[in-house]
Homo-oligomer: A and B are copies of this chain.
Amino acid sequence: MDLSLSEEQQLLKDQVERFAREAYAFETRRRVLRSEAGFEPAHWKQFAELGWLGVAFAEADGGLGGGPVETGIIMEAFGRGLVLEPFLPNVVLGGGALALAGDDAQKKALLPDLIAGKTKLALAYAERQSRYDLADCLTQAAADGGGFVVSGHKAVVYGGNLADHFVVVARTKGNQRAKTGLSLFLVPRTAKGLTVRGYRTVDGLGAADLALDKVRVEKSAVLGPLDGGLALLERVVDHGIAAICSEAVGAMAVLTDMTVQYSKTRKQFGRPIGGFQVLQHRMVDMTIAVEEARSMALYGTLHLDERNAKTRKRALSATKVQIGRSARLVGQEAVQIHGGMGMTDELAVGHYFKRLTMIDVAFGNADWHQRRFADLS
């Protein structure tokens, strides 16, 4: 067992945390939130320059050769600042799929630009009827000459509002929920027949629904094994789970601290509300929830490279359940202890609460993963 950070990892952590603290003061964040794009291109450029967009990619792919631990470090710090730039959809999901399964040509075409901050990716897997079931896919890709014609609808694609290229999951074989017959395709935003309806999400981030109407792609657009995309998709999504769980830990830690500090200054009945034992014990329970979430985020992150897929999936499900439960408790209590102030848009607490709520939804909520865990036990 070794749970300590290397020197480089510690430097990265300090660096990203400083960014979250300094560049993401609450008023700055509100300004970014109100902007048309919903993120700050200058920040994105900075991420590229500092190597953050490439740290988790292999050196052969133009990255710095890090991995899940580095991604977790960045995401946790981004959670602390509620950073709005689309790191998760680009680096972890879209870029992650490419790194795991792309052939040389595919990687070369996209990863260097992604790492340089010049192009943006997103992963389009969920559908209206699929909820969290990764195998449930109605989008069809029919073989057509040397290529495929893809038609269907993709739901709530994180970062899809900004993406230049989509990794689209479609069915090349089998019926709607068959475990074989899924394939992943690289589809440029400009593809004919692709309609992207971008929107903001309730936590201030961005997403899109995609309509694919006979979108034609070449055979070279197939990412990973034809018909065997489910295992790849599951792996990418497990990376996504670990990443947002780290994000949640950062957000929860700040939110708990914020609540404790608020309770020391807010006075009612002639004394700080932090003097009331009921609130004290609830803040202790928040603290414990954060500690357990931190342990499980680590547990999940360190299981990503586990070779046995069942063991990996079970571990990531356990992680997601814990984070969902912790985030619910921490978020709800933080709002409650802040009282009316916790309800306003003017204080950070509500923004953390909303992001934590949507983190539970992402990639399957606690209930969903509790069942997946049971099924894998």
Interface positions of A (Cβ within 8 A of B): 276-278, 281
Shortest CB-to-CB span from A285 to chain B, Å, is 11
Report chain B residues within 8 Å CB of A276: 277
Nearest CB of B to A15, in Å: 42
Chain B residue at minimal CB-CB distance from A275: B277
Q: Which residues of B contact A281 (CB under 8 A)?
A: 278
Give the CA-CA distance A277 to B281 in the complex, in Å.
10
What distance in Å separates the Cβ of A286 from its nearest Cβ neighbour in chain B?
Answer: 15
Q: Which residue of B lies closest to A276 (CB)?
A: B277
Closest to A280 in B: B278
Residues in B neighbouring A277, C-beta threshold 8 A: 276-278
CB nearest neighbor in B for A282? B278
A230 CB to closest chain B CB (Å) equals 32
Chain B nearest CB from A271 CB (Å) reads: 12
CA–CA, A278 and B276, complex, Å: 9
B residues near A278, Cβ cutoff 8 Å: 277-278, 281
A-B contacts, 5 listed (Cβ < 8 Å)? A276-B277, A277-B277, A277-B278, A278-B278, A278-B281
Q: Smallest Cβ distance from A272 to chain B, in angstroms?
A: 14
The 5 A-B residue pairs with the shortest CB-CB distance, nearest first, are A277-B277, A277-B278, A278-B281, A278-B278, A276-B277
**Minimum CB–CB distance for A263 against chain B, Å:** 14
Distance in Å from the Cβ of A190 to the closest Cβ of chain B?
50
Q: How far is the CB of A105 from chain B (nearest CB, A)?
A: 54
Distance (Å) between the CB of A72 and the closest chain B CB? 35
